[in-house]
Amino acid sequence: MPTESHQQPLLSIAGPTGSGKTHLAMLLAEAAQARNITVELISMDSALVYRGMDIGSAKPTLAERAAVRHHLIDILDPTEAYSAARFAADTKQLVTEIRQRGNVPVIVGGTMLYWRAFAYGLSSLPPADPIIRASLDERGKALGWPAMHAELMALDPITAARLEPNDSQRIQRALEVVQSTGKPMSAWLAESPSDDGRAGSLIPSWLRLVSLEPSERAELHQNLESRFDGMLKAGLIDEVRLLRAYPGIHADLPSMRAVGYRQAWEFLDGQIDAEQMRYKALAATRQLGKRQLTWLRAIEGRTVFNPFDASGLPAALQYCLDQISTIK
């Protein structure tokens, strides 16, 4: 990041899916407004960028977006792709624009690869190799991505451990990096620039990271179950049915591989029944939360609050408010 980012601290709210990040951010914006501080939220979520994916992504409501200005939501069609590098570039520009308006930017979300790209940069990763990528695509379709995941586990267990067996896009990229360079992606990421050179584990001095982490995973799982059932009642299946009618859309797109959407697609394809769809979606959501927590717990210097503790959310809100008041 440029020098001015180091001179002006920036607040980021992260946590596993279902931990209440958006709720905290909205409370913060309201409390800040009482102090004549206007907060603008920058979404750090790989699903919220897509138009038409509202229910299954737990997208902030229209009322929430009317009350507080949000960015990086509904910026792409579901047939398009977004990347960590693009997030970092977009966020850098947005931070500058928001500050020029005299407002305070706050980054909110749980896509930790995006956070890492913004905080440390991913310039060390090698460029895509279209020949290797095409070959991996063919093998993935022939063998299945769980088999490719098992192959990755043998070559790069650190990267494989944070990926789902059916995450074709990321498994393909990790295998591509190994094949094109002879070095696993985890090694490349470990060499990403950071303030102290320790594998990007220490937060840069200009970033403040608030992490919502439940002390008991069962609390998070219960919340995720209630939230997904609410999505089903709100019309998730109908939402995916409409998306399937979108020109050019198919199950292998990054958008349709998002948790919940992939399982709903399989259900509409007749591959699984409603009970299996719910079970698989909840399992995938729990796995996502586990991976997000693994990312977060590897970051030194974050400030942790338990969102399910009676005092956790008020304490997190006060901390965030103190931070942006100082920034302002």
Does the pLDDT at position 199 exceed 60?
Answer: no
CA distances from 189 to 20, 124, 138, 194, 206 (A): 28, 8, 27, 11, 21
Rounded Cα distance between 302 and 245, Å, is 43
* Tens digits of residue pLDDT in 143-183: 999 999 999 999 999 999 988 888 888 899 999 999 888 88
CB 324 within 8 A of CB 35: no
Share of the chain above pLDDT 70, in %: 93
Q: What pLDDT is attached to residue 7?
A: 54
Classify residue 328 by its DSSP letter: -
* Reported confidence tier of residue 10, pLDDT bands at 50, 70, 90: very high
In which residue are the tokens 């995941």 written? 149
Burial label, 102 (beta-carbon count in 10 A; 0-12, 13-18, 19+): exposed
Asked whether the predicted pLDDT for residue 94 surpasses 60, the reply is yes
Query: Of all residues in the chain, what percent carry a pLDDT higher than 90?
Result: 69
CB 37 within 8 A of CB 11: no
Q: Domain limits of the chain?
A: 3-124+202-327, 130-188
Listed in sequence order, the residues at least 6 apart from 196 whose beta carbon sits closer than 8 Å to its beta carbon are 202
> Which DSSP string corresponds to 230-264?
HHHHHTHHHHHHHHHTSTT--TTSTGGGSTTHHHH
Q: What pLDDT was estimated at residue 170?
A: 86
Q: Give me the architecture of the 3-124+202-327 domain, per CATH.
A: 3-Layer(aba) Sandwich (3.40)
Find the DSSP H helices in the chain.
Answer: 3-7, 21-34, 62-67, 84-100, 112-120, 130-143, 145-155, 157-161, 168-181, 185-190, 217-234, 236-244, 261-268, 274-297, 312-327
Beta-carbon contacts of 162 under 8 Å, excluding residues fewer than 6 positions away, are 291, 294, 295
The first and second tokens of residue 210, run together, are 């608030």
Of 34-43, 114-123, 141-150, give the lowest mean pLDDT range: 114-123
Look at 122 and 189; give whichever has higher pLDDT.
189
Is the pLDDT at 198 greater than 70? The verdict is no
> How crowded is the C-beta side of 52, counted as CA atoms within 13 Å?
19
Residue type present at position 50: Y
Q: May I ask the CATH class of domain 130-188?
A: mainly alpha
Kindly state the tokens that stand for 47: 């699903």
